[in-house]
Amino acid sequence: MDKHSLISISDLNKEEILALLKRAQEFEKNPNQRILAGKVVASLFFEPSTRTRLSFETAVNRLGGRVIGFSDPKSSSQAKGESLKDTIMMVSNYADLIVMRHYLDGAARYANEIASVPIINAGDGSNQHPTQTMLDLYTIYQTQGTLENLTITMVGDLKYGRTVHSLLEAMHHFKPRFKFVACDELRMPEQYKQYCTEWGIEYEETREFSPEIINQTDILYMTRVQRERFSDLMEYERVKNIYTLTASMLTGCKPNMRVLHPLPRVTEIAQDVDDTPQAYYFEQALNGLYARQALICRALDL
């Protein structure tokens, strides 16, 4: 890729990932710099967001750049029938970088073919969420002191959860062991299990969210059941509350174990977990600011 776009986490090799994590660490120490003075970043959110959009926009503001864009596509000319192609062509004329979230798998890759400026994928359907993965990796390193040889348990909606798909791919550099906890309807898709097999990554699948699983885990990655991806809402109703982590389930966990969640949460982490030493999802969301500052600078070659 000649532009420094980020469409999929596999656009980054191990060295690039580690360099970005180091850059994020520098931004954590000093998030207010004027590196983006004179730059305009377009923030195009065709799907709802709190953390991704606001942390990207904060990242640009703290680096001295300017943000244009929309958080609701109904306020854009998409509502009048404008195509994604035309929107991207127009915005390429105004901005130096486009950060885009879209509800369709593959929309970011398509936009990148059209845009004359780099595209950062801020989540495309159930496909990829590579900037979330960078903040997840940053958080895993921050809490574990390493990315290597960790047991990562992914719980919940492993079918539609783009964050787990991206994280799984990124972790192949670091010899992980995965445990996939999901009901039959929301199992990890075959293509990602095949990916594990190709890379020699150990994984096990189970429907049981048992104390044994939790107690073997270094990173417990909880996910929300993605209501917006279901074509059959009756099926969503059947599975929406299938797993809930409560504080009492953490009594036998490893001392280093941390609970992560890309957020927003609904019912999958009870409020009483927030007061445990294992809860780390709010710090994780803060790390999005530093990881995204590093990614914006990469995209703009700064």
- List interacting residues with ligand CP (CB under 6 A): 49-52, 123, 132, 262-264
Least Å distance, CB 263 to ligand CP, is 5
Indicate the residue among 59 and 196 with the shorter CB distance to ligand CP. Answer: 59
Indicate the residue among 203 and 290 with the shorter CB distance to ligand CP. Answer: 290
Indicate the residue among 48 and 252 with the shorter CB distance to ligand CP. Answer: 48
Least Å distance, CB 161 to ligand CP, is 10
Indicate the residue among 203 and 221 with the shorter CB distance to ligand CP. Answer: 221
Least Å distance, CB 37 to ligand CP, is 26
Least Å distance, CB 291 to ligand CP, is 12
Least Å distance, CB 211 to ligand CP, is 27
Least Å distance, CB 197 to ligand CP, is 28
Least Å distance, CB 34 to ligand CP, is 26
**Full 3-state SS string of the chain:** CCCCCECCHHHCCHHHHHHHHHHHHHHHHCCCCCCCCCCEEEEEECCCCCHHHHHHHHHHHHCCCEEEEECCHHHCHHHHCCCHHHHHHHHHHHCCEEEEEECCCCHHHHHHHHCCCCEEEEEECCCECHHHHHHHHHHHHHHHCCCCCCEEEEECCCCCCHHHHHHHHHHHHHCCEEEEECCHHHCCCHHHHHHHHHCCCEEEEECCCCHHHHHCCCEEEECCCCHHHCCCHHHHHHHCCCCCECHHHHCCCCCCCEEECCCCCCCCECHHHHHCCCECHHHHHHHHHHHHHHHHHHHCCC
> Which tokens is 297 given?
């600078």
Listed residue (137, 120, 101) closest to 4, CA to CA:
120
Indicate the residue among 51 and 193 with the shorter CB distance to ligand CP. Answer: 51
Indicate the residue among 37 and 266 with the shorter CB distance to ligand CP. Answer: 266
> Which tokens is 11 given?
């656009």
Indicate the residue among 196 and 289 with the shorter CB distance to ligand CP. Answer: 289
Q: Which residues pair with 151 in a beta bridge?
A: 177
Specify whether the CB–CB gap between 209 and 156 falls below 8 A. Answer: no
